[in-house]
Structure 1
Amino acid sequence: MRRLISILSLAALWQLGAAWAQLVPPNEMGVTWGHVHLNAPPELRNKETKSWLALGGQLGNNLTEHNVPIAFPGIVLLLGQNQSEISGGSEGSVVDHVAFKVPNLEASMAKWKAANWGLKEHPSTRPGQGFLTTPAGVKVEILEDKTLQVPIAFDHVHFYVPESGLKEMENYYSKMFGAKPVTGESNTYSLPGGKLVFSKSSTPTVPPTGRALDHIGFEIAGSHTGLETFSKALEAKGVKFRSTYRKSELGNARPMDPFGVMTELTHGLNGYADFKHIEEAISPCENRSAKCW
């Protein structure tokens, strides 16, 4: 209860605008970027939440004891509330960092530093690029885009795998989810809402589950029917699942990519930010008190 009261006190400070949180319409396969799931130990959760709000994220309206939703244009961050400890930051895992773009890098960095909410700045050797680390250890890349019409927006998630695995990862996200190569950007693929960037790692990386950046998520069009059909199609293609499709208001299926990254598939994720109650404890739809989607 104390945890929820603390979360609600933050909600009074950051009111979410509905247009801000809309996910991008899906591609021809019915896929769009949905969420990135974060973890923080109990003693850092409030500070971690505040650090993402300092960056420009805004709290979703459906605050629960399971996840705190923080919305940016193109993506929703879900900060889990049930992890008692984490095994490490994002650096060193297959999902090394998440990236955002801003119209003025220098001004943004100065503002975040002045906020003094636990974001640690790291030097970059490339103009128009900066790096930060959140209190829980999520590495964040910041890129300057002078044409951007909003203060901050999601850009990409960056994967690191052995050089021999680059093509396998690119093929997986392309064939299974419809990601398309970005012209002029090597090893970069796009999905509606943002990009997936793949780089070779000179040292072994580990799956991110249980770390500060736990997994990524895609939103699937078509409510229950669309998500169930899509999940079964992945199974038929030989994709391995941590958990197969379960009918619930948010929807839930968890395929694993070739290097152990869980990609949670959902429907109705916009409900975290447009006043629709979508998350009771995940349970079969038939057992719910509220009508499922």
Structure 2
Amino acid sequence: MRFLIAGALALFLTLPAQAQLASPNTAGVSFAHVHLNVADIEVHKKLWVDHFDGVVVVKGPLTTVKLPGMLVVLTERAPTGTSEGSVMDHFGFKVRNIAEVLAAWRAAGLEVQSEFTGAEGFDNAYLIAPDGIKIELQEDITLSVKAEAYHVHFFTGGHIELMDWYIDMFSAVQRARGTHPNTA
């Protein structure tokens, strides 16, 4: 009986997880989620739905907005500061039509911090969402969706060590991205 239970457990552990949030890449890595402390959860639910085509999912005390490539988990709690200048300075999305997204953002009375040509030569912009959350956009006209998760930008004194950790833990590959020599 003990061998039967052990065998069943071993078989169970080899089955794929049905709750996977995002499909992993060939190295088994997926970009799953970010947590945001927000002063007004309703404002953020509307923002992520209206501007990024997100879908709100509420499970018990957890409020999440599903977006292609990631989840944004919202907690109604006064933020301790803005994201700009913190270790996670901003996170980014590729968008199919940056002019359309920027026009809608401005029409909603939200701040566009800057527009620029990014390191890869595409139109980019920084947005400031309520609660000082900084978001980067990069246009990708080939997208089949309005927006999809692209990156998280960490600012830390130990950026090389952090990159090396990602390379070691997740089989990331160091490479240049446009004019940025060190990304993983």
Tell me the TM-score range normalised by the shorter chain.
0.7 to 0.9
Q: Which residue of 2 is the match for residue 3 of structure 1?
A: none
Unaligned runs of 5+ in 2: 1-19
Q: After TM superposition, list the pairs within 5 Å mapping 1:1-293 onto structure 2.
A: 23-28=22-27, 30-41=28-39, 44-65=40-61, 67-81=62-76, 83=77, 85-114=78-107, 116=108, 119-126=110-117, 128-162=123-157, 165-185=158-178, 186-189=181-184
Secondary structure of the corresponding residue to residue 156 of structure 1: strand
**Quick one: which amino acid aligns to residue 59 of structure 2?**
L
More strand by share: 2
Supply the distance in 2 between the matched residues of 1:69 and 1:142 (Cα, whole angstroms).
21
TM-score scaled to structure 1, two decimals?
A: 0.50
**Quick one: which amino acid aligns to residue 43 of structure 2?**
K
Change (3 A) 1:135 1:173: same
Unaligned runs of 5+ in 1: 1-20, 190-293
RMSD, aligned CA: 2.1
Secondary structure of the corresponding residue to residue 79 of structure 1: strand
1:51/1:119 contact within 8 Å kept: no
**Quick one: which amino acid aligns to residue 31 of structure 2?**
W
**What count of residue pairs does the alignment treat as equivalent?**
159
Supply the distance in 1 between the matched residues of 2:150 and 2:35 (Cα, whole angstroms).
16
The percentage of counterpart residues that share the same residue type is 33
Q: Deviations over 1:182-210 (max 9, x none)?
A: 45442222xxxxxxxxxxxxxxxxxxxxx
TM-score scaled to structure 2, two decimals?
A: 0.77
Greater Rg by CA: 2
2:84/2:90 contact within 8 Å kept: yes
Secondary structure of the corresponding residue to residue 160 of structure 2: helix
Supply the distance in 2 between the matched residues of 1:143 and 1:22 (Cα, whole angstroms).
23
Secondary structure of the corresponding residue to residue 32 of structure 1: coil
